[in-house]
Amino acid sequence: MIIAENISKKFRAVHAVNNVSFEVKEGNTLVLLGTSGCGKTTTLKMLNRLIEATSGTIYINEKNIFDQKPEFLRRTIGYVSQNNGLFPHYTVAENVAIVPKLLKWSKTEIIEKTVELLDQLKLPFAHFANKYPNELSGGQQQRVALARALISDPPVMLMDEPFGALDPVTRAQVRAEFTAMPLLKRKTIVLVTHDIQEAFELGDAVCLMDKGKIVQSGTAKELMFKPENEFVKSFFDQQRLFLELKSLTFDDVWNEFETADETTQTPLFLSSKSLWEGMEKLSNLNKNRLIVYQSATKSLKYFTLTAIQNAAASYKQGK
Amino acid sequence: MEVQQSLWEFMFQQSGKLWSQTITHIGLTCISLFMAVFIGLPLGIWIAGRKKAAWAVLGLAGIMQTIPSMALLGFMIPLLGIGPLPAITALFLYALLPVIRNTYTGISGVEPAVTESAKGMGMNKWQILMQVELPLAMPVILAGIRTATVINVGVATLAAYIAAGGLGEFIFGGIALNNTNMILAGAIPAALLSIGLDFLLSLLQKSGLRRMNKVMLVLPVLLLVLSSFYLVPYTGNQLLAGFTPEFMGREDGYLGLKSKYKLDIPTVVISDAVMYKAAFEKKLDIISGYSTDGRLKAYNLVTLKDDKNIFPPYYACPLVRTEILEKYPELETALNLLSGIIHDSVMTELNFKVDYLKLAPEKVAHDFLLSKGLYKKPLKGSKGTIRLGSKIFAEQYILVEMYKELIEGNTQLTVQTRTGLGGTKICFDALTNGEIDLYPEYTGTGLLVILKPDTKTMSRVSGSREKVYDFVRSEFSRQYKLQWLKPIGFNNAYALMMRKEQAQSLNITTITDLKQFSSNEH
């Protein structure tokens, strides 16, 4: 768990971060979203003291981070920097072993852990261990960077635009793998991005930042449908329809759909999915109508393109 | 004529000397390089990320680099005297800039994402430096060390001028003596050394990023081992002699001292520009000077009598291209106005004014001509241009200035001067190639450096002033189409010199006395 209270950073006369507070619950992912220069990266780096806060308090797992030596603090926090930051003169295995070596693990322990983790990340040890970063693709490099941050199994992870250097296709792919990783589901994560879609997909909560302040924080849905001011509203204007469909789940608008009796459809399409995913499903399977299942009520509903559009429209009006 | 020696024969014959010079050279280069790395590397690391300090340090090291190498050695002499210490210091200063600059560039060039993620993973400053920054910057740093090495091998040849040894002894000796084999015997090993060390370092540089940790260990060890080659000549309580590169290789110099006088004393090679002062400051006890040198008077030195007559007469005369004399016959008359006017003591006095009182050679020449009633205002004619050359010491500058005024005052010719043309070989080649028209030369030099007659002819002519003059006059005219005009009057022969008080206290007045003294010391 991370609690940041009234943290500020002044570079000479400029307030890069101004009185920001937030809380990340254990196992949750907080996304700091905003345009470049809004202070999101500065905020992130204050959490592992790469940048020292000018004022404010930060607690990670109930410990004041300012009571610890910065090096020791950082060894307990996973950190993925922008552009992956792999050491070009270290092999994949050596890169992954950096933190364990700092923590003085035994050699066998390091190898065991590395083999396990690389296999999980689809980078088979036998094939990749002795390669150098420049021999890997962008996506593979990013996964090594992730492995490097995860190897010591830190409870907290900080990620600074972790997918920023990847092309859109690889980006979507790595991101999908990322969300699917069981190892990451338990982690408390703070992630910085300027990509709204990424923020909505990965964040349990999103903090929208501007000029060093948090303008609004909440779930993607809250940001979309209950914007606190004009800035928040206009921030999402460009892809509004897409983002709305992405942030609404079938659960949110369950009553808008017609009941279905039974289904032969496998696998079941779950109501926790977003409306956007429903549309994708219809289009991918080339169907007019599909059935969605809500496990809480054990009920089934029909959905079509028109039904989804109507549901979204009435949610907007009804809010 | 004796059959000319081949380069190979020369190198074989001189192999002992060649080895010791090469080893000295490696030692000089590597000690200074080691020091430059020892100081420059931490300095470069320190200024990386400190903009103001970087500006100041790189600026200062840059200025050091722009000082001509000879001048830098010159600056060192008043501070550190002669010998290895000033030479190593100068080389060190030269090597500093490439090392600092490349360390700075290398460290600053490490991708910030890499150092930041190192920091983010919990590495401390020292770990980041040793495991990330230095290994990644190492190829650039090594490139700087390579540059410094090549520079140092080159500049270290100049160390021979200040008695620090090295391959420069052969190179400058060869230039002074017009001995191509000797020049090459120094120059080729120096070039090979430069290529070899550069190659060695390039292997380290290309060993790949992954082995940079090992390179960081190998490099200092390698430099230390190579540095240990350098052994400073040890003299104990004996007298120490400093001879010019030219004197070292001449029959009428060091070789004659060894063969005729059986003189065997510890010797270093040194430039005549700093030799007198070094003797005065008791860094050296015996030097090979010129008998009319003004510094003889300035530094209170005495010449030892050449009681076995190994130094032939060195009467100064204008040496002119025959072609020019035929074209402008009035030139000869103008040049001969000086003939018989300047005798030994007069020349010493004039040299003293320039060398010690630091008067301009132009002024000294002008005042002298005025006092002798020889000065005439320039006629500003336009009949043609005469190009005067001179070697690189005061006496020649003075003579050239006198000739300039005499020619311009007595003929319709104008004069261009090209002074400071190094040694005999450079002047002589410039003259035969038609790049200059005349320069003052000495009969003995013409005989021994240019003509190099066989032993029989030598013994026939060398004792007498007239015989030497007649011999060089006829041979130069025949072989090179060059004319020796009438002697100016003084004899600037080689002489061994000592400090007056030391010579008196040891009761040494002749070279034979010196030989006796040094044998007793053994």
Q: Flag whether pLDDT at A232 surpasses 80.
A: yes
Q: pLDDT (tens digit, 9 = 90+) per residue, B179-204? A: 888 889 999 999 999 999 999 888 88
The pair phi, psi for residue A226, each rounded to 5°, is -125, 60
- In angstroms, the CA A293 to CA A259 distance is 10
Q: Are residues A206 and A232 in the same domain?
A: yes
Q: Are B113 and A83 in contact (CB < 8 Å)?
A: yes
- Does one domain contain both A19 and A94? yes
Q: Looking at the structure, do residues A216 and A288 belong to the same domain, yes or no? A: no
Q: Report whether pLDDT(B2) > 50.
A: no
Q: A56 and A7 share a domain?
A: yes
* Residue position matching structure tokens 């360390």: B103
The tokens of B385 are what? 């241009």
**Region(s) of chain B under CATH 1.10.3720.10:** 7-227
Are residues A223 and A276 both part of a single domain?
Answer: no
Which of A180, A211, A242 is at the close of a domain?
Answer: A242
Q: What integer is the mean pLDDT of A32-57?
A: 91
Start-end of CATH 3.10.105.10 domains in chain B: 316-491
Mean pLDDT, all residues of chain A: 89
- A85 CB neighbours in chain B (<8 A) are 111, 113-114, 116-118, 120
**What pLDDT, in 10s, does the model give residues B16-45?**
888 888 988 988 898 899 899 999 999 999
**How many structural domains comprise chain A?**
2
Distance CA B286, CA A288 (A): 112
Q: Are B361 and B391 in contact (CB under 8 A)?
A: no
Contact B122 A74 (CB under 8 A): yes
Tell me the pTM.
Answer: 0.72
What's the pLDDT tens digit per position in B350-397?
A: 998 988 888 899 999 999 999 999 999 998 888 999 999 999 888 999
Mean pLDDT of B331-356: 90
Delimit the CATH 3.40.190.120 region(s) of chain B. Answer: 241-311+495-521
Query: Any chain A CB within 8 A of the CB of B144?
Result: no
B121–A73 CB contact, under 8 Å: no
Point out the domain boundary residue: A219, A242, A265: A242
Confidence of residue B3 (pLDDT cuts 50, 70, 90): low
**Do both A143 and A279 map to the same domain?**
no
Give the gap in angstroms from C-alpha A50 to the nearest C-alpha of chain B.
7
Q: How far apart are CA A205 and CA A189, in angstroms?
A: 11
Give the one of A74, A91, A132 whose C-beta lies nearest to B121's C-beta: A74
What architecture does CATH give domain B316-491?
Roll (3.10)
Per-window interface: A 183-202 vs B, CB < 8 A: none
| pLDDT of residue B1 exceeding 50 | no
Cα–Cα dist B318/B486, whole Å: 7
Same domain, A227 and A257: no
Do A127 and A36 share a domain, yes or no? yes
Q: What is the predicted ipTM?
A: 0.84
What's the pLDDT band for B522 if we cut at 50, 70, 90?
low
Q: What is the pLDDT of residue B260?
A: 85
From the list A88, A89, A102, the residue facing B121 with the nearest CB is A102
Q: Are residues A308 and A180 in the same domain?
A: no
CATH architecture of B241-311+495-521: 3-Layer(aba) Sandwich (3.40)
Window from A34-43, B174-183, B411-420 with minimum mean pLDDT: B174-183
CB B219 within 8 A of CB B139: no
Residue B129 per-residue DSSP state: I
Q: Which of A65, A98, A144 to mutate to probe the B interface, most B CBs <10 Å?
A: A98
Closest-CA distance of chain B to residue A156, Å:
13
Query: Is residue B279 a contact partner of residue B285, using CB atoms and an 8 Å limit?
Result: yes
The CATH number assigned to the domain holding A48 equals: 3.40.50.300
C-beta atoms of A86 and B117 within 8 A: yes
Share of chain B above pLDDT 90, in %: 39
A77-103 tens-digit pLDDT:
999 988 888 999 999 999 999 999 999
pLDDT score for A109: 93
Average pLDDT over residues B63-68: 86
List alpha helices for B109-206, DSSP H.
Answer: 112-120, 125-128, 134-156, 168-177, 180-205
- Residue B404 scores a pLDDT above 60: yes
Partner residues linked to B415 by β-bridges:
B386
Q: Which domain holds residue A275?
A: 249-318
Q: What are the backbone angles phi and psi of residue A286, rounded to the nearest 5°?
A: 55, 45
Q: Which of A61-65, B59-63, B307-311, B442-446 has the lowest mean pLDDT?
A: B307-311
Which one is the CATH code of B7-227: 3.40.50.2300, 1.10.150.20, 1.10.3720.10, 3.40.50.960?
1.10.3720.10
Q: Are residues A187 and A254 in the same domain?
A: no
Name the percent of chain A in helix, strand, coil, to the closest 5. Answer: 45, 25, 30
Q: What is the pLDDT of residues A3-12, one digit of tens each?
A: 999 999 988 8
The verdict on A81 touching B (C-beta cutoff 8 Å) is: yes
* Averaged pLDDT of chain B: 87
Separate counts of helices (H) and strands (E) for chain B: 26, 10
Report how far Cα B223 is from the mean position of its chain's Cα atoms: 27
Q: Touching check for B141 and chain A: CB below 8 Å? A: no
**Beta-carbon neighbour count of residue A44 at 10 Å?**
22
| Token pair belonging to B473 | 């006059």
Q: Do A192 and A215 belong to one domain? A: yes
Tokens of B507: 């009761």
- Do A236 and A255 fall within a single domain? no
The reply to whether residue B123 touches residue A98, judged by beta carbons under 8 angstroms, is yes
pLDDT at B232 over 60: no
* Distance from C-alpha of A116 to C-alpha of B135, rounded to nearest angstrom: 29
Query: Whole-angstrom Cα distance, residue B268 to residue B238?
Result: 13
Q: Give the model confidence (pLDDT) of A265-310 as tens digits.
A: 777 788 888 899 899 888 988 888 888 888 888 888 888 888 898 8
Question: What is the spatial distance between Cα B427 and Cα B360, in angstroms, rounded to a whole number?
Answer: 22
Picking from A242, A269, A295, the residue at the C-terminal end of a domain is: A242
Note the helical H segments in B423-464.
Answer: 424-432, 443-445, 455-461
Strand order in the sheet with A290-294: A269-270, A290-294, A299-303
Q: Would the pLDDT of B238 be above 60?
A: yes
| Probe site for chain A from B110, B111, B117, B119 (most A CB atoms < 10 A) | B117
pLDDT at residue B8 above 80? yes
